[in-house]
Amino acid sequence: MKAGVGFSDHQDPFIAGSSAARKAIETSGTPNLLVVFTTDFYDPEKVLSGIKSIHSTTKIVGFCCGGIITKQGVHTQGIGICSLSGNFYAGTSLHKGLSQSPWKVGIQAGKEILDQGLEKGTILVLPDGFQANMSEMLRGLYSQAGPDFKYIGGGAGDNLKFFKTYQFTEKDISNDALALAIIDGLEISTGIGHGWKPIGYPLTINKVVGKTVFEIDNIPAFHAYSQRLGNISKEDFKYQGMIHPLGFPDIAGQYIIRDPISANGDDSITFVTEIPSQAVGNIMDCRIHDLIETARIAAYNAISCIKKPAFTLLFDCISRILLMEKQFQEEISAIQRLSGDNVPLLGALTFGEIGSYSDVPLLHNKTTVVAVGDSLEGKKNA
């Protein structure tokens, strides 16, 4: 197979969409699938029209994200497209009403995949990152599709306005939706990691409503969190919450990160993602060097299973760049060096990342998910 990446930051959405598509297809040839990342600057209908003006019949899956990652760095305005061509199957679907019933939407999406007669492959999962319980959606999807598929993706978002974001396929555009692409016959290997480590002794989540935690260790959530960090104030929370998320160990001993976004007037803490009541975890800490090294290891784990890399897709939490700032480019460079300078790379800054350390897909925060496609058929020999 062949892949190409195109990027445009032209202000006109039709021109930006058509320009990015043209550049990507010039390298890949006639595409089976276009993976599209846009920022919230653009009207998605005009973007889609621009893309279709270049190739009207290909499958398209995409979303609006907090920023677009290319080899040159992170772009807060633009449209990035990864074009994939070759002898493989690609299908897309869009499922609306995600926030009303994430479990049901996940089940519907999984059943649709099985109804196509597919038994294995890679599922690119692009849900609205603002509206719904994405973990519940993933559980519904996995309950139908099962362990023979790989799951990669991330939550759609914007430039931290938390207003509205979009998901789309070649057929439709929506918000509060789940966009999927199903790929069969193309070997895609994944790696995942974050770089945060637990500090102190474990804590217990006691009272939760949605994404807001009211009690930790049977006292108001902010009081418990503050005490663990030396009695920080709410004025300190914006920075301390960025470097000290919560982490919850999974069955394999990996920590799943949950990112706090606000300390509220009633001393509750609101998180990006839901946390189950009675979950036991730790406050986490990090060093920038560890974040970069963990992303490099994630890329190595993905690339080491591939004969000849054809493309790299990244789903990287927007909070990582807020913390790392200029050093975020070191993370991109570390990943690019492993895959090769001539291998097309495209990424999105996401609100929740989807990937797995084993078979079961999980929703992560503050995490890097790396997906590498193989230009050759078959798996690398052990």
Helix, strand and coil percent figures for the chain, each rounded to 5: 30, 35, 35
Largest CA distance in the chain: 60
Task: Write out the two tokens for 180.
Answer: 């999927």
**Burial state string for 293-313 with b = 16 or more CB within 10 A and e = fewer than 16:** bbbbbbbbbbbebbeebbbbb
pLDDT computed for residue 382 by the predictor:
29
Summarize the confidence of residues 193-213 as an average pLDDT.
Answer: 94
Averaged confidence pLDDT in the chain: 92
- Could you tell me the pLDDT band of residue 119, with boundaries at 50, 70 and 90? confident
Secondary structure (DSSP) of 70-127? ETTEEESS-EEEEEEESS-EEEEEEEE-TTT-HHHHHHHHHHHHHHTT--SEEEEEEE
Summarize the confidence of residues 336-350 as an average pLDDT.
Answer: 93
pLDDT computed for residue 379 by the predictor:
43
What pTM value is reported for the model?
0.94
- Could you tell me the pLDDT band of residue 161, with boundaries at 50, 70 and 90? low
- Could you tell me the pLDDT band of residue 358, with boundaries at 50, 70 and 90? confident
- Could you tell me the pLDDT band of residue 292, with boundaries at 50, 70 and 90? very high
Q: Which residue has the tokens 């990090």?
A: 286
CA distance 248 to 312: 28
CA distance 211 to 251: 23
Which amino acid makes up residue 283? I
pLDDT computed for residue 341 by the predictor:
86
Reply yes or no on whether the pLDDT at 115 is more than 50. yes
Reply yes or no on whether the pLDDT at 157 is more than 50. yes
pLDDT computed for residue 293 by the predictor:
96
* Residue 72 neighbours by CB distance under 10 Å: 9
Instruction: Name the residue ranges covered by the structural domains of the chain.
Output: 2-193+290-374, 197-284
**Packing angle, helices 44-54 and 13-28, rounded to 10:** 40
- CATH annotation of 197-284: 2.40.10
State the Rg of the chain over Cα: 20
